[in-house]
Chains A and B, each alone.
Chain A
Amino acid sequence: MWQVRWILKPLVFLACLIPALQLTIGALNAVGVMQVGGISLGADPVEFMLHTCGRWTLNFLMITLCMTPLRDLTRSTLWLRFRRMFGLFAFFYVLLHISVYLLLDQSGKLGALWQDIVKRPYITIGMLGLLLLIPLAVTSTVKAQRRLGRRWTQLHRLVYLVAILGVWHFWWQVKKDIREPLLYACGLTLLLGYRVWKHRQSLARVSVARLAGSGGA
């Protein structure tokens, strides 16, 4: 399957970079370095960058969580070959998100960030989500996966919590119109609900197998 490795994956990789590219061009337009038509960050570029990066973090978390259900649904493991890339893009966009916040919004004042983390619950949980993503990004290599074995799977279940914290963070900071965070919450409920359902199914199967086993003895 060299096509996946050398054609499909690079194409998907480039596609995942499009939002970051748009923001970069928009930012250069905004400061007047250049004028590339059509791409503008609007009247409040900092807010636009902050929200775009935040949204794409959530989008990539959702996409990552779609891979396993898609594998089950299509009975193809192709999806799993993209899971790490999508997960790492979620991490990439959350790093951009906090960088925009810290460097452009708060002018690099770490003290202000700390104040916010302590004082503003929505920032506290957002920050917690970001921190929990770090060990997942660090252990995303095949090497780490081999070394950790079963514990790798357990560790990477943290992504469920990260996604919950991410949607929660979004929900808590909107002024009134919760329609968009609600949409993410519904999607996440579906994705996590699927896993609960699958887990129950497998438990049931195990107990049926046990019953069958004891019956035969």
Chain B
Amino acid sequence: MRKKSTDSAKILPSEITPYERYVSRRTLLAGGLGLVAAQSIGGFARAAFAQPAGALTYVRNASLSVTDAPNSYRDITTYNNYYEFGTDKSDPSENAQKFHTQPWNVAIGGEAEVTGTFSLEDILKPHPLEERVYRLRCVEAWSMVVPWVGFPLGDLLKRFKPTSKAKFVEFKTLYDPKQMPGQRSAVLEWPYVEGLRMDEAMHPLTLMAVGLYGKVLPNQNGAPLRLIVPWKYGFKGIKAIVSIKFTERAPRTTWAGAASNEYGFFANVNPSVDHPRWSQATERHIGASAFGPRQPTLPFNGYAAQVASLYSGMDLRKFF
């Protein structure tokens, strides 16, 4: 049984959406064919990708998107760091196929007026979706460009009316070793915890992602709900979120807890602050050309104009 699901998870090169078709599909949607088109494309996507769900309705946010060409759907969905499903890059796409994302609840707690447990539907309902093509820079010094579909985290957080005591937001991933085989070994402390300072969380670039390439997020990419903070290293983008809590103090995040000299709370992409064991000055861009040269890493992953002011006056060597 297990073998079967592994096989169906493998995507043949012939099944990868060429970028042109992806773009034309988007134009089709924008052309107003609306729900009917979306559903028929959903059917196509199901057949082609063996993914549980279909296309999403969204608008493209060009002003917050980069113009770099996105990586292929195949690269984005088979090269993942998601230790809950294994530590190899190919593990998540193989082990996450049977992961249940329905029903899904998110607990909202801490320093806010509105708290409690909400179904995913209630969480998502009021938020129109938009597509944003973001750069993604992993702390391991590789990078991709990903067309996410989601909505600003800030819009979600405002609904819970955080109090004046809310200085940070803490996120937690589902803890379910039965479904997440990686959690059965103590590679990291489970569940995975991430956090943002309130102003980072409210920043318009910070995204709650629910989709990728116009479709519902594949399990290996953090379905059903994940965080994207494009100016920070990828590990800040916590996946399969089940808890959001407003706190007064900085949460103890997983990687910072595992090796505080190597991974900081802020984890802003910074070419001039090296990882103690490797350089962060350059990155290998996945899929550019197989053996192309490394490219220089940009401060704040190229988003310095939008976010550098959040950290003015801070020593970024100390608060790495």
Contacts and interface: CB of A to CB of B under 8 A. Distances in A.
A49 to B, nearest CB: 9
A118 to B, nearest CB: 12
Interface stretch (B48-56, B118-126, B277-285): B277-285
A122 B142 CA distance: 19
A33 B284 CA distance: 21
B17 interface: no
Contacts of B287: 43
Interface of A: 27, 30-32, 41-47, 104-107, 115-116, 119-122, 172-173, 175-177, 179
The main secondary structure of chain A at its interface with chain B is helix
A45 B75 CA distance: 12
Contacts of A44: 79, 89, 142, 284, 286
A176 B258 contact: yes
Given A44-B79, A47-B284, A120-B277, A177 B293 contact: no
B187 A177 contact: yes
B291 A42 contact: no
B283 to A, nearest CB: 11
A47 B141 CA distance: 11
A104 B292 CA distance: 8
A176 B290 contact: no
Contact of A42 (B89, B185, B279): B89
Contact of B75 (A43, A120, A177): A43
A106 B294 CA distance: 7
Contacts of A179: 185, 187
B294 A43 contact: no
Given A31-B291, A105-B294, A122-B277, A43 B187 contact: no
A42 B284 contact: no
A42 to B, nearest CB: 7
A144 to B, nearest CB: 37
Contact of B78 (A30, A42, A107): A42
B261 to A, nearest CB: 13
Nearest to B140: A175
A185 to B, nearest CB: 17
A176 B78 contact: no
Contacts of A173: 277-278
4 A-B pairs closest in CB distance: A43-B79, A30-B290, A177-B87, A107-B293
29 contacts: A27-B290, A31-B289, A31-B290, A32-B290, A42-B78, A42-B79, A42-B89, A42-B90, A43-B74, A43-B75, A43-B78, A43-B79, A43-B89, A43-B286, A43-B287, A44-B142, A44-B284, A45-B290, A46-B290, A104-B291, A106-B294, A107-B293, A107-B294, A116-B279, A120-B278, A122-B277, A176-B83, A176-B258, A177-B187
